[in-house]
Structure 1
Amino acid sequence: MPFFRTTSSSWRTAVATLATVLTLGGAGCAVPEDPQSAPSAPAGSGDASAQLSQLKVASEGSMSGYNRKRFPHWRKTGKNCDVRDSVLQRDGTDIKLSGCNVVGGRWISIYDNGNFSDPSDVDIDHTVPLANAWRSGADEWDDTKRGDFANDLTRPQLLAVSATSNRSKGDQNPAQWKPANREHWCKYAQDWITVKHHWKLSVTDAEKAALSDMLSTCR
């Protein structure tokens, strides 16, 4: 009768993987089993360039009528959990939970390489800021669609980063602000383009030029 040999190391790996799955599943939130459990990969540099060429180029619209409440967030993702908890758990390691709330862990901010263990020092950044989206087409959406955008876990729209970098960025586009970590410029441009392409948001001439320059850093 044929049999299969399993090394002790591979067996330990399998057991550890199963334990992780059971632990996360028992937490009652934060890691849904649908495509929104992790952001989709951004377009590669070639695809991103093609998508960038397809974006509508227009001057920024007015901020008239803008309010963050017009982009309802954070939506619930489980009992006592919301999208913020989901992103903190997804982007961190050694996560500690109190019920379903993330109360500890380790995060590396890809914008500035900062290391954090206190979730209060971490912000959830919208890659394409809500105000920028408003000025580039979201002002014409209804609040339900704006809520879908603000809670988008499928595209690379939500990232756990340092609070200082997020607040330095504000609502600026890549022509006005870039991550201090230059090694992240390629992916930042890819992420920005992926989000704007999916949501059919426009870019300015300067924004498009900056994104093109950032894509040139892709290796």
Structure 2
Amino acid sequence: MAGSRTFTVLLAAAVVTAGLTGTALATPPGIPSETTARSELAALTVKADGSLTGYSRDKFPHWIDQGGSCNTREVVLKRDGTNVVTGSDCAPTSGRWYSPYDGATWTAASDVDIDHVVPLADAWRTGASSWTTAQRQAYANDLSDPQLIAVTDNVNQEKGDASPDEWKPPLTSYWCTYAEMWIAVKYRWKLTVNSAEKAALTDMLDRC
């Protein structure tokens, strides 16, 4: 029986690998190791979330021009996709995008959202309300940290502005990476975490 189970697991892995052949996994920059993520999580200030009073997505200007006729969304679509072809305006005309949140692959850019790993509203509640507009713009268009990722649009909409204690990617196999990204962004931008959020992140890191 043990041999049968092992064969089944290996076969499933082979099927998944075959399905991903030729399709890049969206990988934002700056994802820390599990050890680094645990250290950064321990360094974050634990505090109850603040109010959403005064919040507006307009206070986080995006998607801004990144040069070469490309805005931030288009840069991430090119980075996270495979065989992406763009027009003169930098908008993708073809390509493939694999969403690590749910394992779906898309061939139309319109089916793909660029997710703010730590949502703008969550950032507002945990420190960004006191930032300048320039700081919020930098945050909303951050290409240097694991803050932006191309994912299935419906999944991104389901997530909304939820923190990890309220929403996690459908694929549990991605929970470790998601937690590492979330923690890195909060650490880089000096945002706070609440106790339920920290507990959820710790649990997700235990899956690494």
Say yes or no: TM over 0.5.
yes
- 1:179 counterpart residue number: 169
The answer to whether the Cα contact below 8 Å between 1:112 and 1:180 also exists between their aligned partners in 2 is yes
The 2-side partners of 1:41 and 1:80 are apart by 25
Percent sequence identity is 48
| Secondary structure, counterpart of 2:113 in structure 1 | strand
The 2-side partners of 1:39 and 1:133 are apart by 19
The structure having more radius of gyration, on CA atoms, is 1
| Secondary structure, counterpart of 1:193 in structure 2 | helix
Does 2:198 align with 1:208?
yes
How big is the shift at 1:79? 3.7
Which aligned pairs between 1:129-208 and structure 2 lie closer than 5 A?
A: 129-208=119-198
- How many pairs align? 181
- 2:50 counterpart residue number: 61
Render the CA deviation track for 1:6-64: whole Å, top value 9, x for unaligned: xxxxxxxxxxxxxxxxxxxxxxxxxxxxxxxx843311111111100000111110000
Which runs of 4 or more aligned residues in structure 1 lie more than 3 Å from their structure 2 counterparts after TM superposition?
none
The 2-side partners of 1:181 and 1:104 are apart by 26
Render the CA deviation track for 1:161-219: whole Å, top value 9, x for unaligned: 0001100000000000000011100000000000000000000000000000000000x
Which aligned pairs between 1:77-96 and structure 2 lie closer than 5 A?
A: 77-96=66-85
Counterpart amino acid of 1:46?
A: T
The answer to whether the Cα contact below 8 Å between 1:96 and 1:102 also exists between their aligned partners in 2 is yes
User: TM-score under structure 2 normalisation?
Assistant: 0.85
The 1-side partners of 2:182 and 2:55 are apart by 21
The answer to whether the Cα contact below 8 Å between 2:30 and 2:146 also exists between their aligned partners in 1 is yes
The 1-side partners of 2:84 and 2:40 are apart by 36
The answer to whether the Cα contact below 8 Å between 2:86 and 2:93 also exists between their aligned partners in 1 is yes
How big is the shift at 1:81? 1.4
The 2-side partners of 1:130 and 1:71 are apart by 7
Counterpart amino acid of 1:205?
A: S
How big is the shift at 1:102? 1.4
User: TM-score under structure 1 normalisation?
Assistant: 0.81
Counterpart amino acid of 1:60?
A: D
